[in-house]
Amino acid sequence: MKKFGMIMAAVAAAFMASCNSSAPQGELKDEADTLCYAIGMQQSNGIEGYMQQMELDSTLVDELLRGFVDGANLGGDAKKKAYYAGVSVGFQIGSQAPQGLTQQIYGPNDSINKANFADFVAGFVAAAKGNAKLDKNGVDSLSQAIMTKINNRRMEKEYGAYKKENEAFMAKVAKQEGVKALSDGIYYKVEKEGNGNKPAATDKVKIHYEGKLINDTVFDSSYKRNQPAEMPLAQVMPGFRTALTNMPVGSKWVIYIPQEQAYGSQDMGQIKPFSALVFTVELIDILKDAAPKADNLPEAEIVPAK
């Protein structure tokens, strides 16, 4: 069923020529007036369903009809039209945004904190008028940084013990015989040293790999699929890319990636927040022909595709 407002808009457009009276009482001076009145009666059959859809109590029908009459009689009044358009947008946002903001900022399970909806409205208005307190060009990166900071605090509270466990694992790995260090806290152990070229961060590579958590749970494996994977290094997690760009073709390494160079505080299902990851990787070949351009690299946030 179409929304009541949409139906009434269609009726108004179709009968504007003959239904030009603004009086809600109805005069029914001729057949055309009577037809307009009858069609109005027919269309009002959907009002109860519309009120239910909008979650309005039936006792508020007079308020709804008052608003309907005001809107129907706007005519060419551009100021009133703009006002009612704003009311419509504001109502839609106001009915959803407060709860949505709270869940976005504090998570779906937080029953204590509540987002400040008044600041949301203030930011909306200020940006639209061009006098916002924050730099419009930098607001996206600022929002992301704050969201990450708040999310990190929430996740550290929930997964603090697990984070320490993974940090202790990486510290133990660093002291193991045969383990070598790369940048950013990444370690590796050579199982087979190849003598081929090393891929660039913009190359596509062909590899066999197995990814595990620190408790040896396998979360992904090309070996199990019996099919090497091909992937652009620009589209893998930072720690994985760093290791592969230091690895000659023909090599097989065990790579130890700290959570900061993997998914950090993100919850990836089987891969919990703050998980250090262990990859066994064989670099089979470099597929330069499929490499993306260096000046157009996407963000590296994913593990090798399954």
**Best CA proximity match to 88, nearest among 105, 74, 104:** 74
* Mean pLDDT along residues 9-35: 56
Highest mean pLDDT among 10-19, 29-38, 51-60: 51-60
Segment 124-129 mean pLDDT: 85
Per-residue pLDDT tens over the stretch 150-176: 888 888 888 999 999 999 999 999 999
Residue 142: helix, strand or coil by DSSP? helix
Compare 267 and 297 and report the one with higher pLDDT: 267
Ranges of each domain in the chain = 4-95, 98-133, 163-296
Give, as one character, the DSSP assignment of residue 271. B
Count the neighbouring beta carbons within 10 Å of the beta carbon of residue 145.
Answer: 11
Residue 26 gets the label, from left (phi > 0), alpha (psi -120 to 50) or beta, of left
Higher pLDDT, 263 or 7: 263
Top pLDDT among 157 and 209 is at 209
Confidence of residue 64 (pLDDT cuts 50, 70, 90): confident
Task: Say which residue, 198 or 110, is predicted with more confidence.
Answer: 198
What's the pLDDT score for residue 297? 36
Higher per-residue confidence, 120 vs 193: 193
Amino acid at 300: A
Provide the token pair at 6.
């949409």
Q: Can you give the pLDDT at residue 124?
A: 84
CA 228 to chain CA mean position, Å: 31
Instruction: Say if residue 25 is exposed, middle or buried (CB neighbours under 10 Å; 0-12, 13-18, 19+).
Output: exposed
- Pick 292 or 182 by higher pLDDT: 182
The pLDDT assigned to 228 comes to 96
Provide the pLDDT for residue 21: 41
| SS3 per residue for 13-28 | HHCCCCCCCCCCCCCC
Helix %, strand %, coil % for the chain, to 5?
A: 50, 15, 35
The confidence score (pLDDT) of residue 63 equals 84
- Residue 131: what are its φ and ψ, rounded to 5°? -130, 40
pLDDT score of 148: 85
Q: Which of 6-10, 80-84, 151-155, 170-174 is predicted least confidently?
A: 6-10
Instruction: Pick the range with the lowest mean pLDDT from 107-111, 163-167, 207-211.
Output: 107-111
Higher-confidence position of 205 and 22: 205
Average confidence score pLDDT of the chain: 83
Q: What pLDDT does residue 287 have? A: 93
Q: Which fold has domain 163-296?
A: Chitinase A; domain 3 (3.10.50)
pLDDT per residue over 227-272, tens digit each?
A: 999 999 999 999 999 999 999 999 999 999 999 999 998 889 999 9
| pLDDT for residue 117 | 83
Asked if 254 and 191 touch (Cβ cutoff 8 Å), the reply is yes
Give the mean pLDDT of 50-79. 83
**CA dist 32 to 7, 92, 283, Å?**
19, 36, 81
pTM greater than 0.75 (yes/no) = no
User: What is the identity of the amino acid at 270?
Assistant: Q
Contact between 294 and 229 (Cβ < 8 Å) = no
Residue with the larger pLDDT of the pair 289 and 300? 289
Work out the percent of the chain whose per-residue pLDDT is above 90: 41
Of 286, 225, 283, 290, nearest in space to 255 by CA: 283
Identity of the residue numbered 83 = Y
Residue 214: per-residue pLDDT: 97
Question: Does residue 225 contact residue 304 with C-beta atoms inside 8 Å?
Answer: no
pLDDT at 24: 52
The number of residues in the chain equals: 306
* Residue 300 reports pLDDT greater than 50: no
Of 72, 80, 89, nearest to 11 by C-alpha is 72
Beta strands in 203-276 (DSSP E): 204-212, 218-221, 229-232, 252-257
pLDDT, greater one: 94 or 27: 94
Q: Where are the beta strands (DSSP E) in 62-213?
A: 179-181, 187-192, 204-212
